[in-house]
Amino acid sequence: MSEALERGRTRVRGFEDPEMDYQLLRQLGLARYGGASVGECLALSRRIRNADPDSWVQAFAQAGKRLAADARAREKHGHLVSAREQYLVASNNYRAAEYYCSVSDPQHKQYGLISRQLFLAAMQHSELDCAEVWIDQDGLSLPAYHIRHQRHWTGRTLMIISGFDGTLEETFVAYGYAALERGYGLFLFTGPGQMDALRFNNGTHFKPDFERAGHAALDYLLVQPGVQTGRIALMGISFGGYFALRIAAAEPRINALILNSPINDLHAYMSSFVGFDPAQMPESDDFGLADIDMMPPEKISEQHREMARNLMLRFGQQTFKKTYKALREFRVSDQALSNISCPVLALVGEGEGAEPIRQWRYVQDRVSGPVGQYCFTAQEGADGHCQTGNLAYSAAVSMDWLDEALP
């Protein structure tokens, strides 16, 4: 222990690796709505090696286990507010561990299930009615949550679908809680291939026609007591911007649409991440699931190895090239875009890069309904993907627009 007088030993340090630094900011941002502790995240970051997924997984899984035990002890002694808060942070810590854990590792599913259990434990000590919902589609059992405030629900409902690696529980904290504060009911749902679906359906993978998941979700929602036809909004987060576009283009029961951000061409969007189109790479450069663990570290980092593996598995393809070829099917045609006549809010961050901003503009020009738009800036601390650095301001923009579009 140092003899010198200090304010504290926690330091504000991130990671040199851009992706891991973004994931740390994603975790820190959830502190606004009770999903994380700033001090704990910064303390954990000092134990995580830069661009080393395994050290991230271990650190956040251990933190989740410690906080879950603390929550149970407080619950046992009747401190239910404290228990709820600790359960929620523990749940999100396990989600962070789930993120960097390989889909092929059995622990991936286990971390996800624990995150879900801890979230439901937190909901038991809240003023919210949280119903677990299961929607059947093509033999899959897709999880969803229907959540309403016991005292101030206006009958309006916001449906939210996340993307590649978001979960129902994280979506609640990051985007759903702000809607509940404003009197909306929440319906958080999933489709094939999403993280929550993987927990209960081995081998499920993404499919282009996500409107089918939207149809099934709306069929369930619109027969629930108190849900008002004509007052249903849909929000898509990350890849969910594509899913939500597909749903809204085929579904007239959606009365307002929030895209964060709009994605009409998932192939072009994902190609922009690697700087070229892997669908056109030479066969000699292609690699598959059987090859990836034998690739030397100087050719692919451990972090990119896991990201590539997860991408292939989640899209149900055997090689990297075939994955990007399959992504060509994930498009929303101009005709489909023109079918969207409800009010639309298009969101993007100025730091996301040229392709997301191009698609943000493209979609605005082709939907037929009234369009609102906002580009978040670095000055606002919200220029990154899905505004993880300033979720409260993201909510102010999106929810204030929705209050006017769906009064």
**In the prediction, which pLDDT does 216 show?**
97
pLDDT attached to residue 2: 56
Please say whether the beta carbons of 103 and 199 come within 8 A: no
pTM (global) more than 0.75: yes
pLDDT tens-place string over residues 48-64: 999 999 999 999 999 99
| Domain termination residue (choose one: 327, 346, 364) | 327
**pLDDT score for 1:** 53
Lookup: tokens for 308: 């590539």
Residues 350 and 318 in one domain: no
Together in a domain, 52 and 119 = yes
318 within domain boundaries: yes
Q: Reading across the β-sheet that carries 344-349, which strands appear in turn?
A: 128-137, 140-149, 185-188, 157-161, 232-237, 256-260, 344-349, 371-376
In-domain check, residue 3? no
What separation in angstroms does the CA of 160 have from each of 173, 366, 398? 12, 23, 13
In 33-162, the DSSP E strands lie at 128-137, 140-149, 157-161
Q: Are residues 209 and 352 in the same domain?
A: yes
- Mind listing the pLDDT tens digit of every residue in the chain (407 residues)? 556 667 777 788 889 999 999 999 999 999 999 999 999 999 999 999 999 999 999 999 999 999 999 999 999 999 999 999 999 999 999 999 999 999 999 999 999 999 999 999 999 999 999 999 999 999 999 999 999 997 888 889 999 999 999 999 999 999 999 999 999 999 999 999 999 999 999 989 999 999 999 999 999 999 999 999 999 999 999 999 999 999 999 999 999 999 999 999 999 999 999 999 999 999 999 999 999 999 998 888 888 899 999 999 999 999 999 999 999 999 999 999 999 999 999 999 999 999 999 999 999 999 999 999 999 999 999 999 999 999 999 999 999 999 999 98
Provide the domain count of the chain.
3
Output the CA torsion sign for 358, 162, 307, 351: positive
Q: Containing domain of residue 258, as a range? A: 129-265+330-407
SS3 per residue for 309-336: HHHHHHCCCCEHHHHHHHHCCCECCHHH
Judgement on whether residues 176 and 101 belong to the same structural domain of the protein? no
* 2 in any annotated domain: no
Residue 168 lies in a domain: yes
pLDDT for res 8: 78
If asked whether residues 135 and 96 sit together in one domain, one would say no
Same domain (yes/no): 275, 340: no
Which residue, 76, 96, 126, sits at the end of a domain? 126
Tokens 């911007």 identify what position? 241
From 126, 149, 174, the end of a domain falls on 126
What pLDDT sits at residue 209?
A: 97
Calculate the average pLDDT of the chain.
96
| 1: in domain | no
CATH number at residue 405: 3.40.50.1820
In angstroms, how far is the first alpha carbon of the chain from the final one?
A: 58
Residues 216 and 135 sit within 8 Å (Cβ to Cβ): yes
334 and 348, same domain (yes or no): yes
Q: Is residue 186 part of a domain?
A: yes
Is 118 found in the same domain as 258?
no
Residue 264 confidence (pLDDT): 98
pLDDT of residue 153: 83
> For residue 111, which amino acid is it?
Y
Assess contact for 74 and 82: CB atoms under 8 A.
yes
Pair 154, 171 in one domain: yes
Query: 33 and 88: one domain?
Result: yes
Q: pLDDT of 363-400, one tens digit each?
A: 999 999 999 999 999 999 999 999 999 999 999 999 99
Residue 344 phi, psi (nearest 5): -130, 135
pLDDT score at 369: 95
Task: Output the pLDDT for position 151.
Answer: 80
Query: Cis omega (within 30 of 0) on the bond before 45?
Result: no
**49 and 138 both lie in a single domain:** no
Q: Per the domain annotation, does 24 fall within a domain?
A: yes
SS3 161: strand
In a domain, 313, yes or no: yes
Indicate if 29 and 109 belong to the same structural domain: yes
Residue 154: per-residue pLDDT: 84
CATH code assigned at 56:
1.20.1440.110
